[in-house]
Structure 1
């Protein structure tokens, strides 16, 4: 009896011939491969095409944002200029000024007399004064900024002096220069020097003070000399701050020379503007304003490029 029961139970326990085995169940769960199995390979191609179209749209949008806003701004400025010219008879129109510019730049380096020269010579004379005054300011201001940032005693000593003299107008320094140097050209260079030195001192000193203390601790542990600390630690860390100060100073120097030359006379873009005003030649004054702006922009962009070349940081206007 027990043998019969066991035989019946054994037969019921056996899987049916049509029942899938565990392995068969796993195999049945797999998708059936057909000729359409190669279709997923087309997905990357579609995605690549969409990515290309998207990148073209982004590139086109970026080009539009770089070109359209400046052109729109210039068009708006010309429109306002034209409206003012229509309402004021003594004010030249953009077209009149453009024709005068064509005549002027056809021979920018003529020289009839010491006080009658082309705009090119006047710009070069101003740039020469800016180079001398700015160069002297850099030679004095950058080392002084390192010393002020490195030595607390010097920072406390020079801090009040810098705070007192930095806000002084550039034209206020010009009479002092005329009194001391007895000549217009050195007085103009002096005004550039005294006005452009402050950004370099302040930015360099702030850069030295913001050097991470861990760097200085390592230098102390390694017993580095002051010269190695300056060249290996301070200078690379301070360079972005220093170049920012230089960029600010060159803009200040260019502003100062235009104002100083209006008062000192001689050859220079500032004196040229004042001379054209005395002649009531308003188109030439407007042309000179544009030239002054373009030269200042070029100087600033050159220093921005220099800063990007020597630092890892992005330098912004």
Structure 2
């Protein structure tokens, strides 16, 4: 592996990954020569017809022209991509093995063509080499508790370091571009209010929220006069959400429970669940939607 030269990219790493800070990123994963060679061939085939320029150190450029993707250490880059796919692609950037002067432009091109980067026949062979989800991490009731705790019970202080003041962990709705003065917290409130409007949440609404987060949606629903039951599997999130609700004087309107969606009881006028689809997992989508249906009162939303 060659050593990438330090560089400064707005929003990106300024040097190769620090082994003390990111040991898993600093170490290039072991990859057989055959896997690396196949990955190299697939990557070049995928990039050659895209509107970008992919420059591989020591072996020329492919692509139709456009934003530059500068691969400074092809061997390490292909080893990571061949071993871990998109995760490897991201970690290769963290490790300083590739760069892009216009990072947004390059990633936009790749995202727009994501479905066709790998030929369909090879996509069907993915199961032969892609890591499988460990059986114990399936989103069964017990598995979900373990998965959520591992992710969200790290520390509320940790999440507060990179979330906005609302502590919202999902996409916001901006009015125009953020650079035009629309602050993230305001855009988060716009997103939440739009969801509550669509669910017609108002005075007296019995609302079930599946996935509390840190309580912002429950707070805004209760401020409208709704009676909110909010479910989470994270003890840290539950405790902070309760503190925030109590501080707002809304604890008589909101109950935050440590409860799996499959164990929910009662009947509600509306159910709101923000970005839970990916946490539930495709295997359990039928169970999830059946649970939502069972909790809704006739005419519920």
Q: Same fold (TM over 0.5)?
A: no
Q: Which has the higher contact order (CA 8 A, sep 6+)?
A: 1
TM-score, normalising length: structure 2: 0.23
Larger strand share, 1 or 2: 2
Structure with the greater alpha carbon radius of gyration: 1
TM-score scaled by length of structure 1: 0.22
